[in-house]
A and B are shown apart, each in its own frame.
Chain A
Amino acid sequence: MNRDYDSSAFEQVTMLLPIELRHCLAGLPDRAKGRCEELRLRMGQRMSVTYPEGEVAVSGSPVVDGAMLHGVLEIASHASAHTVLDQVRNGFLPVRGGHRIGLCGRCAMKDGRVVNLRTLSSLSIRIAREIPEAGKEVLPLLLDRGRPQSTLILSPPGGGKTTLLRDLIRRVSEGEGLDPLRVGLADERGELAALCDGIPQFSVGPRTDVMDGCSKAEGLMMLLRGMNPQVLAVDEVTTPEDLAALELAAGCGVSLLATAHGSGKADLLRRPLYRQFLRLGLFTKLVVIELCDGKRRYTVFELEDEPC
């Protein structure tokens, strides 16, 4: 897979930084900007940049302080904290362009629940990029009589699940290698389609209806009730509520495309929620993504005959 991306996504992400940090990144070569996967800001340390091979501190970067961390949040929320509090409680903040800010710090609790982050200690800004060829080889292996079978994509964090899912959605919606189908996309984090003023910033195909800003489970149910999808897609299934919504959708004859954290097939049996996937027979295909020498390798497994 080509890792020499263009640097436009990087430039977009740097605009989330306060001016003093923005200047430090201006000197990076274009190739480095194109390969950068994350920016990391930790209180009391210099800003660092994450490449596929590891994290590197940015030379000349000032030591990150609390005002800088809060500055990032102010920019990302367009100085409107009230619009992002729900996401802050979940520990991440999706921003325009499909990028995501991971938040860390001391939580403020009320009635046993996190209500906010009292102090920030570090931020990770993950750069989202489109890789239009990601699903080219995978999609034909998922088809059965011209329709995609319900598929679960598995990889560790940062493995490329979202990128693959996005390209599969686009191909199914555009009808590349199959008859085009209506796709309902529950994009809780706004990473897949990156809706902005109702328009997806990433290409997810002309027949894709996107629901974002709500939980995956609620989004799936609303899509199912209102948009009559033929395929339902959702990123990072993590809660029993997500599972229940997927179970209901599967019962309606809709194909499912979903992702989950895990390094391989064995993880499905190890984790209780994922064991449920197998027990309920929600998915018939499993795509495992592995990173070998900086390249992503996709392996497709059949799940129908898996033991519970």
Chain B
Amino acid sequence: MLKALGAALILAGGAALGAVGSCRLSHRARLLRSLCGDLRQIERELAFRLTPLPALFSRLGQARESPTARFFKRCADGLGNVGEVPLCSVWEQAVTEEFSQLPPDDRAILTELSLVLGRYNDEDQRRALSGAAERLDEKAREAEAERDKLGKVYGALGLTVGAFLVILLL
């Protein structure tokens, strides 16, 4: 009885590890896709209304379902102390801390925006946003392909490793 319980636990542990790996892939794809949408949204707002960045960040930070809401809320809050910390530092810090799960390449695309956002005319900012959104879109497609290809593999692999351990231990 105890053995069967142990075997079930090992099997479940392996399956959980596989699921975590698969989830991480899905999360990256979802995050990148959401960031693309957010950057496009900022681009449109700049083109149409020249909306100030605090208002934009605050609005994006209120989107409850969005996985990027916390990032934008943090940027909006950081702009309250803009006399103490410049926007570029607020943005860079938020990227580093809120998107620590993303690979450095993905984060670098966002970090580069700190050199342009809020510092130039709307056209230059829109150009930078559009370029970043395109690169993120490409990364999102890669991440989605990876998720489709490796997601199931991770799940099966976790289960297999669990089963293998059970056989070994028995």
Are A15 and B52 closer than 8 Å at their CB atoms?
no
Bound CA–CA A71/B82 (angstroms): 8
Residues of A within 8 A of B121 (CB): 81-82, 85
| 24 A-B interface contacts by CB (under 8 A) | A15-B83, A18-B83, A19-B84, A22-B83, A74-B82, A74-B86, A74-B87, A74-B118, A77-B118, A78-B53, A78-B54, A78-B79, A79-B54, A79-B79, A79-B117, A79-B118, A80-B53, A80-B54, A80-B118, A81-B118, A81-B120, A82-B50, A82-B118, A83-B50
**In the complex, what residues of A have CB within 8 A of residue B118's CB?**
74, 77, 79-82
Number of interface residues of B (CB under 8 A): 18
Residues of B within 8 A of A78 (CB): 52-54, 79, 82
Contact across chains for A79 and B82 when beta carbons are under 8 A apart: yes
Given A79-B87, A79-B117; 18 other pairs, CB 8 A cutoff: A17-B83, A22-B83, A71-B83, A71-B86, A74-B82, A74-B87, A75-B82, A78-B52, A78-B82, A79-B54, A80-B52, A80-B54, A81-B120, A82-B46, A82-B50, A82-B118, A82-B122, A82-B125
- A82 and B83: CB pair below 8 A? no
For the complex, what is the distance from the CA of A85 to the CA of B119, rounded to whole Å? 10
Nearest neighbor of B91 in chain A, beta-carbon distance = A79
Q: B52 contacts which chain A residues (CB < 8 A)?
A: 77-78, 80, 83
A32 to chain B, nearest CB (A): 22
Closest Cβ of chain A to B107, distance in Å, is 21
- Distance in Å from the Cβ of B56 to the closest Cβ of chain A? 9
Bound CA span A71–B50, Å: 21
- B interface list, Cβ under 8 A from A: 46, 50, 52-54, 79, 82-84, 86-87, 117-122, 125
Which B residues touch A19, using CB under 8 A? 83-84
Of A19, A79, A81, the most chain B CB neighbours within 10 A belong to A79
Please give me the residue from chain B that is nearest to A21 by CB atom. Answer: B83
Residues on B with beta carbons closer than 8 Å to the beta carbon of A71: 83, 86
Which residues in A have some Cβ–Cβ distance to B below 8 Å? 15-19, 22, 71, 74-75, 77-83, 85
Q: Which residues of A contact B50 (CB under 8 A)?
A: 82-83
Closest B residue, CB atoms, query A19: B84
Q: How far is the CB of A253 from chain B (nearest CB, A)?
A: 36
Residue of A nearest to B86 (CB): A74
Which residue of chain A has its CB nearest to the CB of B118?
A79
Within 8 Å CB of A82, what residues of B?
Answer: 46, 50, 118, 120-122, 125
Q: With both chains docked as a complex, state the minimum distance between the C-beta of B142 and any C-beta of chain A, in angstroms.
A: 32
User: Which residues of A sit under 8 angstroms from B117, Cβ to Cβ?
Assistant: 79
Which residue on B lies nearest to A17, using beta carbons? B83
* Cα–Cα distance between A16 and B84 once the two chains are bound (Å): 11
The CA of A79 and the CA of B116, in the complex, are separated in Å by: 11
9 smallest CB-CB distances across A and B, nearest first, come from A79-B87, A80-B52, A79-B118, A82-B122, A80-B53, A19-B84, A78-B52, A75-B83, A78-B54
Nearest to B81 among chain A residues (CB) is A19
Give bound CA distance, A81 to B120, whole Å.
6
Shortest distance from the beta carbon of B124 to any chain A beta carbon, whole Å? 9
Residues of B within 8 A of A79 (CB): 53-54, 79, 82, 86-87, 117-118
Chain A residue at minimal CB-CB distance from B80: A78
Q: How far is the CA of A135 from the CA of B57 in the complex (A)?
A: 43
Give the one of A19, A75, A78 with max B CB within 10 A: A78
Chain B residue at smallest Cβ distance from A73: B119
B53 CB contacts on chain A under 8 angstroms: 78-80
A220-B79 Cα distance, complex, nearest whole Å: 35
* Least distance between A162 CB and chain B CB atoms (Å): 25
- Bound CA span A83–B52, Å: 6
- A83 to B86 CA separation, bound complex (whole angstroms): 17
User: Which B residues touch A18, using CB under 8 A?
Assistant: 83-84
Q: Which residues of B contact A83 (CB under 8 A)?
A: 50, 52
Name which residue of chain A comes closest to B85, CB basis. A19
A83 to B118 alpha-carbon distance, docked (Å): 9
User: How far apart are B44's CB and chain A's nearest CB, in angstroms?
Assistant: 14
Q: Which residues of A contact B82 (CB under 8 A)?
A: 74-75, 78-79
Please, how many angstroms separate the alpha-carbon atoms of A17 and B84 in the complex? 9
Residues of chain B within 8 A (CB-CB) of A81 are 118-121
Nearest residue (CB) in A for B83 is A75
Determine the chain A residues whose CB is within 8 A of the CB of B119 once the complex forms: 81
